């Protein structure tokens, strides 16, 4: 049976996340409804990343199996006719029969956007945090480096969602500044529930504090504090889960790519 791979962009503002939920609008359900209209049969869509409510995607990947005369590349425009403007099927193509968007992925890339200034146009697409106006790019990258490498990430997962194995290989963790906006990029083989938002929270709490030796006193959260929290693997009062609207699933990578 043909296996169709979709690349999807969406604004998550109006949705309760990617994954289908009872009595909630989700991205998966919206696309599955469109599939049913095109294929005239109920079809299950498998997504690479289960983004939370309010989280966006620039490069979500999903796949579905079907028997259809529709050419693989034509599924994108066919589905788009039945979707709202906040979901875009960027491409569709045939994948191998065994391809699975979630289990075959070898890496995922997320971006988080943060600005200390307000905007009428951007407020649902980034975290606007005026109280963090004194953020230091240097300190953001000091703490971002703490998270790189292969480690148990239990401390970065919502307690009720911690899996049996919480090992993650974080390959990139870096901040850049673009005018008034700070952008965080993180790449890993997998991510746990709210993991990126927890990491951004630690970065902001550390970088918002006065730097050592500048006469401003001690930062409220040190690098050693964060390392100790990661080693302990427990949720603490130091955790800050930043808002979802600044988070984007940017890319999902596969072996053949």
Domain co-membership, 68 together with 180: no
pLDDT tens-digit readout, 122-139: 999 999 988 887 899 999
Rounded-to-integer distance, Cα 158 and Cα 225, Å: 19
Q: Answer yes or no: is 51 within a domain.
A: yes
Are β-strands 181-188 and 149-152 bridged in parallel, bridged antiparallel, or unpaired?
unpaired
Domain co-membership, 75 together with 39: yes
**What is the structure's pLDDT at 216?**
45
Domain co-membership, 11 together with 70: yes
CATH code, domain with 76: 3.30.70.580
Burial class (CB in 10 A: 0-12, 13-18, 19+), 143: buried
pLDDT at position 218 over 50:
no
Q: Which residue has the higher pLDDT, 92 or 235?
A: 92
Domain co-membership, 91 together with 117: no
**What is the structure's pLDDT at 213?**
39
CATH code, domain with 114: 3.30.70.660
Q: Which of 52, 152, 164, 228 is catalytic?
A: 52
126, 157, 211, 254 from 102: Cα distances, Å: 26, 19, 41, 10
pLDDT tens-digit readout, 60-104: 999 999 999 999 999 999 999 999 999 999 999 999 999 999 999
169 part of the active site: no
- Give how many domains the chain has, as a whole number: 2
Q: Which residue has the tokens 């620039």?
A: 58
pLDDT band at 239 (very low <50, low <70, confident <90, very high): confident
18, 129, 231 from 32: Cα distances, Å: 11, 36, 41
Rounded-to-integer distance, Cα 1 and Cα 72, Å: 12
Rounded-to-integer distance, Cα 244 and Cα 21, Å: 18
**What is the structure's pLDDT at 257?**
61
Q: Answer yes or no: is 147 within a domain.
A: yes
Domain co-membership, 32 together with 155: no
Last residue of a domain, one of 64, 95, 126: 95
Mean pLDDT for 176-200 is: 96
In the beta sheet, which residues pair with residue 151? 168
Domain span at residue 237 reads: 107-253
Domain co-membership, 159 together with 78: no
| Lowest mean pLDDT, pick from 12-21, 75-84, 97-106, 200-209 | 200-209
Tokens of 36: 């049913």
Q: Which residue has the higher pLDDT, 212 or 117?
A: 117
In the beta sheet, which residues pair with residue 152? 167
Domain co-membership, 134 together with 214: yes
Beta strands in 85-235 (DSSP E): 87-95, 107-115, 127-128, 149-152, 167-178, 181-188
Domain co-membership, 75 together with 123: no
Mean pLDDT for 57-61 is: 98
């Amino acid at each position: 049976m043909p296996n169709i791979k979709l690349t999807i962009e969406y604004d998550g503002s109006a949705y309760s996340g990617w994954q289908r939920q009872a009595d909630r609008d989700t991205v998966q359900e919206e696309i599955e409804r469109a599939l049913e209209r095109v294929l005239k049969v109920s079809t299950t869509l498998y997504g690479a990343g289960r983004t939370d409510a309010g989280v966006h995607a620039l490069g979500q990947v999903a796949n579905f199996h079907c028997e259809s005369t529709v050419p693989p590349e034509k599924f994108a425009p066919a589905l788009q006719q039945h979707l709202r403007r906040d979901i875009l099927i960027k491409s569709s193509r045939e994948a191998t029969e065994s391809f699975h968007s979630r289990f075959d992925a070898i890496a995922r890339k997320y971006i988080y956007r943060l600005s200390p200034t307000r905007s009428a146009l951007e407020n649902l697409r980034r975290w606007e945090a005026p109280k963090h106006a004194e953020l230091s790019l240097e300190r953001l990258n000091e703490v971002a480096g703490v998270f790189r490498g292969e480690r148990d990430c239990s401390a970065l997962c919502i307690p009720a969602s911690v899996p049996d194995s919480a090992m993650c290989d974080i390959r990139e963790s870096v901040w850049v500044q673009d005018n008034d906006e700070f952008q965080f990029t993180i790449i890993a083989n997998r991510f746990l529930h709210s993991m990126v938002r927890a990491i951004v929270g630690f970065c902001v709490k550390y970088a918002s504090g006065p730097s050592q030796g500048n006469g401003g006193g001690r930062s409220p959260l040190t690098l050693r504090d964060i390392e100790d929290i990661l080693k302990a693997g427990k949720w603490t009062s130091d955790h800050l889960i930043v808002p979802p609207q600044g988070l984007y699933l940017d890319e999902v990578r596969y072996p053949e790519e």
